[in-house]
Chain A
Amino acid sequence: MTEPLIFELSIPGRKGVRLPELDVPESELPADLLRDDLPLPEVSEVDVVRHYLRLSQLNYAVDKGIYPLGSCTMKYNPKINEVAARLPGFVGIHPLQDELTVQGALYLMYHLQEQLKAISGFDAISLQPAAGAHGELTGVLIMRKYHLDRGETQRDTMLIPDSAHGTNPASTSMSGLRVVEIPSDARGNVDLEAMKAYMNERLIGIMITNPNTLGLFDENLEAICQMVHEAGGLVYGDGANMNALMGIMRPAEIGIDVMHFNLHKTFSTPHGGGGPGSGPVGVVAKLADFLPAPIVVKEVDAEEEAEEEAPLYTFYDPPKSIGRVKSFWGHFSVMIKAYTYIRMLGDEGVRRAAEYAVLNANYLLSRIRDVYPLPYDRICKHEFVVEGRFEDAPGVRALDIAKRLIDYGVHPPTNYFPLIVHEALMIEPTETESKQEVDRYADILLKIAEEAKTDPDLLHEAPHNAPVRRLDEVYAARQKILRYRRDQQ
């Protein structure tokens, strides 16, 4: 590693801040709370600034270049989102303030709920879940409570296609339910025949990712919803791939009963280190009473009477709510960014973003499809999956291709997922990349395929130009060092 840990930069006695002189009487701390063995780093301000700036420069980010990490929708995050989230009126409020004094914040939450309803067709939205998988867990708990409320306590089985997101089985298990995996058919759709055996009184429902992790729109989606509904089950839609559909198709209209959104994917709020996620859940009318508390409602009476003392927007706890899933009011700053994004795009822009996302994915696929094997040959949505292996370069694997991409200064795609494709490379360029950027990525992929035949070791030993060379993931997983200890270095 080219950059030491901040602990290794420590010089005894070096200080970054000088505290002002004490202007109150000094009081002694209890002796049992004092310790002198805390190995905090002793560094100056310039040490800290340079250390973290250098680390940030070693990193890769969507502000640096294309980031086609399939299933993650790493689109560019417009900077106006950040400007809005930093407005003093938003930054300066406190979650315990009286509703009357934060009507602007509630206005934003209410209208974000309305925007998400318009995009999805659902009747009610809760903005509370903190991220995608949290939204899934919330949605599954809503499905479970719906059946319990109807006295159908025997329902315990959730169907999950093998092309679904990997978090779906985890959310189901966490809810105390039984997971049954359903295979895909030859076209990459859910196998309807395989579903039939589970259409009985034990069915909770199905969790379906659409477009699925192959980037394909399930051609049987309507039939699946109908089949599950006839058996008394509910349909959960994993909305992580909403970027392919927004403004074009409303999931509720085709029969999906509950779905989470990923504001940090579809609606351009930053991912991972860039900020927390947010996973609002939308439901059809019959599930609205089970949503987690609180949701924001508009008091129509208050508007008519124009009484100054009555708040126009207020928090509301649904009567049969599964309860709270998050402290306070969810990840509010993320909601500001998503709201800003949707308002900036407008109805037309939202639709165009989805169209361009699908166009970019299909264009990139068309550029590489003759070289990279394509297991499911169909028009894709916002992403696609090819195999990272070549008949005439037997030793080369998807991992080698991914590592070699780093040498060209671009981010690799998701690899080894979905599990139903050998040596999977899952590529999602997103709509924010220009034709030139997509072409450049295609050129690099084609060049690497050529290198795989002419100089396979170049791939096996990649990356060559990164801050660190090929990491030994097996050794790291088997010999775990999970915390830093200065005395052991």
Chain B
Amino acid sequence: MKIDPQCRYTKSHEWARKEDDLIVIGITDYAQQTLSDIVYVELPEEGDEITKGEAFGVVESVKAASDIYAPVSGEVVAVNEKLEDEPELVNSDPFGEGWLIKVRPDDAGEMDELLTPEDYEKVVAEEEAH
């Protein structure tokens, strides 16, 4: 399982990464492995507001449909449109080409409240043991 050291994480398996004054959001490698083959990704539109902790989209695999929760609050400024035809990018490259949305955060400080890569690794280990 890969963990990107540049990212911060949520307990619900989203990652967030600073890119200039924007924040890129996706789901983790562990999340895509657990979901298995992803067949559909439902995302918000550019200009939509998302709220930290609330669902902003859905990933659907052959096993389950799961909500994706916002790691930070802000305005959606870009959506990965490639996923419409190639949802499998989330499986093959969850931290890269499989990114979901880019957000202009309301409060850049919210990033610091998220889990560090080390803490996230512990969350995953705990879930695996359960």
> At the interface, yes or no: B64 with Cβ under 8 Å from chain A?
yes
Contact call B64/A416, Cβ cutoff below 8 A: yes
> At the interface, yes or no: A38 with Cβ under 8 Å from chain B?
no
Most chain B CB within 10 A, of A375, A416, A474, is at A474
Contact call B130/A474, Cβ cutoff below 8 A: no
- The distance in angstroms between the C-alpha atoms of A417 and B64, with both chains bound, is 9
- The distance in angstroms between the C-alpha atoms of A416 and B61, with both chains bound, is 11
Contact call B39/A416, Cβ cutoff below 8 A: no
* A interface residues, tally (CB under 8 Å): 8
Contact with A along B71-110 (1 / 0, CB 8 A): 0000000000000000110000000000000000000000
| A416 and chain B: residue at smallest CB distance | B63
- The distance in angstroms between the C-alpha atoms of A23 and B55, with both chains bound, is 66
A-B contact count (CB 8 A): 17
> At the interface, yes or no: A473 with Cβ under 8 Å from chain B?
yes
> At the interface, yes or no: A477 with Cβ under 8 Å from chain B?
yes
- The distance in angstroms between the C-alpha atoms of A375 and B40, with both chains bound, is 30
Nearest CB of B to A47, in Å: 35
B63 surroundings in chain A (CB, below 8 A): 416
Given A478-B87, A478-B88: A375 and B62 interface contact (C-beta under 8 Å): no
Contact call A477/B64, Cβ cutoff below 8 A: no
> At the interface, yes or no: B37 with Cβ under 8 Å from chain A?
yes
Contact call A375/B87, Cβ cutoff below 8 A: no
Contact with A along B17-44 (1 / 0, CB 8 A): 0000000000000000000010110000
Nearest CB of A to B76, in Å: 21
Contact call A375/B64, Cβ cutoff below 8 A: no
Q: What class of interface size applies to chain B in its complex with A?
A: under 10
- The distance in angstroms between the C-alpha atoms of A416 and B35, with both chains bound, is 10
A473 surroundings in chain B (CB, below 8 A): 37, 62
Contact call B64/A419, Cβ cutoff below 8 A: yes
Q: Which of A375, A417, A419, A478 contacts B39 (CB 8 A)?
A: A478
- The distance in angstroms between the C-alpha atoms of A474 and B63, with both chains bound, is 10
Contact with B along A451-489 (1 / 0, CB 8 A): 000000000000000000000011001100000000000
- The distance in angstroms between the C-alpha atoms of A416 and B66, with both chains bound, is 13
- The distance in angstroms between the C-alpha atoms of A474 and B87, with both chains bound, is 11
A477 surroundings in chain B (CB, below 8 A): 37, 39-40, 62
Contact with B along A71-96 (1 / 0, CB 8 A): 00000000000000000000000000
Contact call A474/B64, Cβ cutoff below 8 A: no
Contact with B along A414-428 (1 / 0, CB 8 A): 001101000000000
B39 surroundings in chain A (CB, below 8 A): 474, 477-478
| B39 and chain A: residue at smallest CB distance | A477
A478 surroundings in chain B (CB, below 8 A): 39, 87-88
Chain A 390-444 residues near chain B, CB threshold 8 A: 416-417, 419
Contact with A along B44-57 (1 / 0, CB 8 A): 00000000000000
Nearest CB of B to A307, in Å: 58
Nearest CB of B to A394, in Å: 14
- The distance in angstroms between the C-alpha atoms of A453 and B88, with both chains bound, is 31
Contact with B along A247-270 (1 / 0, CB 8 A): 000000000000000000000000
Contact call B37/A375, Cβ cutoff below 8 A: no
Most chain B CB within 10 A, of A417, A419, A477, is at A477
What residues make up the interface of A, taking CB atoms closer than 8 Å to B?
A: 375, 416-417, 419, 473-474, 477-478
Q: List 16 A-B contacts (CB under 8 A).
A: A375-B130, A416-B63, A416-B64, A417-B64, A419-B64, A473-B62, A474-B37, A474-B39, A474-B62, A477-B37, A477-B39, A477-B40, A477-B62, A478-B39, A478-B87, A478-B88
What residues make up the interface of B, taking CB atoms closer than 8 Å to A?
A: 37, 39-40, 62-64, 87-88, 130
Task: Return the 6 tightest CB-CB contacts between A and B, nearest first.
Answer: A477-B39, A474-B37, A473-B62, A416-B63, A478-B39, A474-B62
Additional A-B contact list (14), CB under 8 Å, known A419-B64, A474-B39, A477-B62: A375-B130, A416-B63, A416-B64, A417-B64, A473-B37, A473-B62, A474-B37, A474-B62, A477-B37, A477-B39, A477-B40, A478-B39, A478-B87, A478-B88
